[in-house]
Chains A and B, each alone.
Chain A
Amino acid sequence: MMALKSMRASATAPAARSSRSRCVLVRATAEAETVSKNLEIMRRFSEQYAKRSGTYFCVDKSVTAVVIQGLAEHKDTLGAALCPCRHYDDKEAEAAQGYWNCPCVPMRERKECHCMLFLTEDNDFAGKDQTISMDELKSGIAGMH
């Protein structure tokens, strides 16, 4: 896992000396940003597959972002990019079986992606982009949970 750490330190200036002794407080906060490598993998996969299949991302890219995050989560937990827009009676079995692993069979056979990740040009929700940056991804995911 890629780990990006940023450190922020703030120091409060010492108060004027009074009869009580004062300490200088230096508060250092470490914010660890952990970005799943699978998120980057699924972002790149989505771009490549959109180009290869001649499909486009949703005009509202937060939809794209949310689905890519869902795929990455499944890849983290199940080892496969199981479609995040479905209920499964047994997720592990479905991931092993593969029908709903992205790109799922309906997508591969008929360019049907009910997640709205890969949209054909004639779809009312299709935008013109086949790329999504990590910044756009994070922005789209932010506020979901």
Chain B
Amino acid sequence: MLASRPTLPAAGRSRAFGPAITTPRTLRSSHIARVANVGEATFDAEVLQASKTQPVLVDFWASWCGPCKLVAPLMDATEKDFGGKLKVVKIEHDANPKLIASYKVYGLPTLIVFKDGAEVEGSKREGAITRALLEQYLKKHGISK
């Protein structure tokens, strides 16, 4: 199921800032902005309309879902890693029942890619994912760094 050794995110804790140094700081995962949570009110603008200009990866998650917590930092990092070629948003399960029903989300987390204003057929993927598998999954749907 998981082909490569995963790089585990720090368990929800941000690392301390290092001392001031003259050379450029290496950006750490704690400095990466978290991806936006989108809801039913903003879904059309933030996902469907936005996907007309760039692909959007949607991460459906739930509060007491362990694997959702595990992949959250990866979602945050991915948007940055793809440098504007991919937008990543998260949709929380309990607060967005209509979206959950519309996209027939059952297992959590679920990833879906949106392009050109619609869900990419066959892009729905359930379960935790490693960085390497995520890149493979995105490449399969025409999204590369």
Question: Closest residue to A59 on the B side, CB-wise?
Answer: B8
Contact B1 A123 (CB under 8 A): yes
Stretch in A10-18, A22-30, A63-71 touching the partner: A63-71
- In the assembled complex, B26 has its CB within 8 A of some CB on chain A: no
Question: Closest residue to B128 on the A side, CB-wise?
Answer: A116
User: Which residue from B8, B13, B67, B105 sits with its C-beta under 8 Å from A114?
Assistant: B67
**Which residues of B39-59 are within 8 A (CB) of A?**
none
A115/B65 contact (C-beta < 8 A), A87-B93, A87-B100, A125-B128 known:
yes
Q: Is the interface of B mostly helix, strand, loop or mixed?
A: loop
How many residues on chain A are close to B (CB under 8 Å)?
28
How many residues on chain B are close to A (CB under 8 Å)?
29
- In the assembled complex, B106 has its CB within 8 A of some CB on chain A: yes
Question: Closest residue to B9 on the A side, CB-wise?
Answer: A60
Question: Closest residue to B1 on the A side, CB-wise?
Answer: A123
Determine the distance from Cα of A65 to Cα of B106 in the docked complex, in whole angstroms. Answer: 22
Query: Which B positions have Cβ atoms within 8 angstroms of A?
Result: 1-2, 4-6, 8-9, 11-13, 62-70, 93, 100, 105-108, 126-128, 130
Query: Which A positions have Cβ atoms within 8 angstroms of B?
Result: 58-67, 69-70, 73, 84-87, 114-117, 123-125, 140, 143-145
